[in-house]
């Protein structure tokens, strides 16, 4: 009897201890505090509510939350444990198998937790199963079901970021990535793309291959850190290597997801065609759009019950309007000046 392909949609939250805290540019404050972490819990509720609107009725799609805590909190009066159970969202608690030393990198020090997730899914998935892992500050704008079909042709598909070869991306450039790729046994004729870490879309074949190889890579990265050598500083650096190694469909997800900057005081890249995307990644909206949508849900609002037009209007008004970010005139002028100088 042929086994059914399972499609997994997940996100994750890692609660830093005081010893693990680090910087996160789009969420100010101490990453080990309940106030800081509550921002991510609110995002998680919104993330799953937008996915459930489209995917709850599909028995072949399973939702999973990965975390390192045994205790799911109550946020603003909402019992999140009850919410996850009611919504049939599996909560998986994992130990971080790949902790980083204090001197490894100043930001995103919990990002290698994603490889603990990979290890778990390598055991759970069959080779043809599909896994979509997103950052929690993403929302679904459309039904993603058909996009999973990309994995029938390719082991994974990526979102490529348009950085120049010499642009420093979390501590290293694309040219330095090219050198590291060769050191790990994958010589390239040109500098590789940096593939955005907010999305991992992969088959069981890819997940199992990464799980087998990464523990040895991690040991090498720690050795490089001790020696003061360039290294992969966060999960997207390492995943970019695996995408090239296993011949993922590079850039395919650029048609479906975008990193959308919404704060007019710093940088906006919102375009009318963004409403056609399936997933919006909205880093600036953690304290704004996600907070207000969580409040809407917490007060009994239901995204699933909206008709298509009402949902589209709600999403645009809540997440994409420039006026959602109060104007800070000095920062706004500086942002506009920088954009003019770049032309």
With cut-offs at 50, 70 and 90, classify the pLDDT of residue 31: confident
Of 227, 47, 54, 60, residue with least CA distance to 134: 47
Q: What is the pLDDT of residue 290?
A: 98
Strand pairing category for 194-195 and 160-161:
antiparallel
Instruction: Return the higher-pLDDT residue of 4 and 328.
Output: 4
Q: What is the pLDDT of residue 136?
A: 98
| Contacts for 52 with CB less than 8 Å, ≥ 6 apart | 63, 87, 303, 304
Is the per-residue pLDDT at 1 higher than 80? no
CA angle 218, 219, 221 (to 5 degrees): 60
pLDDT cut 90: percent of the chain above it: 86
With cut-offs at 50, 70 and 90, classify the pLDDT of residue 30: confident
CA distance 231 to 105: 10
Of 219, 169, 172, 171, residue with least CA distance to 197: 169
Counting every residue written for the chain, the total comes to 343
Could you report the per-residue pLDDT of 197-223, keeping only the tens digit for each? 999 999 999 999 999 999 999 999 999
Mean pLDDT of all residues in the chain? Answer: 93
Is the per-residue pLDDT at 2 higher than 70? no
Could you report the per-residue pLDDT of 85-132, keeping only the tens digit for each? 999 999 999 999 999 999 999 887 789 999 999 999 999 999 999 999
With cut-offs at 50, 70 and 90, classify the pLDDT of residue 23: low
Q: What is the pLDDT of residue 341?
A: 47
The H or E element that residue 236 is part of is: helix 235-245
With cut-offs at 50, 70 and 90, classify the pLDDT of residue 134: very high
Within a 10 A sphere around the Cβ of 44, how many other Cβ atoms?
A: 24
Is residue 61 within 8 A of residue 145, CB to CB? The reply is yes
Residue 309, classed as helix, strand or coil, is helix
Average pLDDT over residues 155-169: 97
Of 327, 126, 111, residue with least CA distance to 214: 111
Cα within 13 Å of Cα(219), Cβ side: 3
Could you report the per-residue pLDDT of 233-286, keeping only the tens digit for each? 999 999 999 999 999 999 999 999 999 999 999 999 999 999 999 999 999 999
Is residue 326 within 8 A of residue 289, CB to CB? The reply is no
């Amino acid at each position: 009897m042929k086994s059914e392909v399972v499609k997994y949609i997940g996100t994750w939250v890692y609660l830093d201890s005081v010893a693990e805290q680090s910087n996160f540019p789009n969420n100010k404050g101490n990453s080990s505090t309940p106030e800081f972490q509550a921002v991510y819990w609110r995002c998680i509720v919104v993330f799953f509510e937008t996915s459930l609107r489209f995917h709850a009725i599909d028995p072949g799609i399973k939702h999973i939350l990965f975390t390192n805590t045994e205790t799911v909190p109550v946020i603003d009066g909402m019992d999140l444990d009850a919410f996850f159970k009611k919504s049939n969202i599996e909560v998986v608690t994992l130990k971080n198998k790949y902790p980083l030393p204090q001197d490894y990198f100043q930001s995103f020090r919990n990002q290698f937790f994603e490889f603990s997730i990979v290890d778990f899914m390598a055991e759970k998935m069959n080779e043809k199963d599909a896994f979509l892992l997103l950052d929690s500050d993403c929302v679904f704008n459309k039904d993603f079901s058909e996009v999973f079909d990309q994995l029938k042709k390719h082991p994974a598909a990526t979102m490529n970021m348009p950085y120049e070869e010499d642009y420093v991306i979390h501590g290293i450039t694309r040219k330095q990535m090219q050198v590291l790729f060769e050191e790990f046994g994958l010589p390239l004729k040109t500098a590789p793309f940096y593939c955005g870490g907010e999305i991992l879309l992969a088959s069981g074949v890819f997940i199992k291959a990464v799980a087998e190889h990464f523990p040895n890579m991690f040991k090498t990265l720690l050795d490089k850190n001790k020696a003061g050598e360039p290294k992969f500083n966060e999960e997207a650096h390492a995943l970019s290597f695996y995408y090239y190694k296993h011949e993922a469909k590079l850039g395919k997800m650029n048609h479906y997801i975008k990193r959308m900057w919404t704060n007019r005081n710093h940088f906006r890249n919102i375009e009318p065609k963004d409403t056609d995307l399936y997933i919006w990644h909205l880093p600036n909206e953690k304290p704004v759009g996600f907070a207000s949508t969580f409040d809407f849900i917490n007060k009994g609002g239901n995204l699933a019950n909206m008709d298509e037009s009402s949902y589209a209007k709600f999403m645009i008004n809540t997440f994409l309007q420039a006026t959602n970010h109060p104007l800070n005139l000095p920062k706004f002028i500086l942002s506009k000046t920088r954009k003019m100088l770049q032309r």
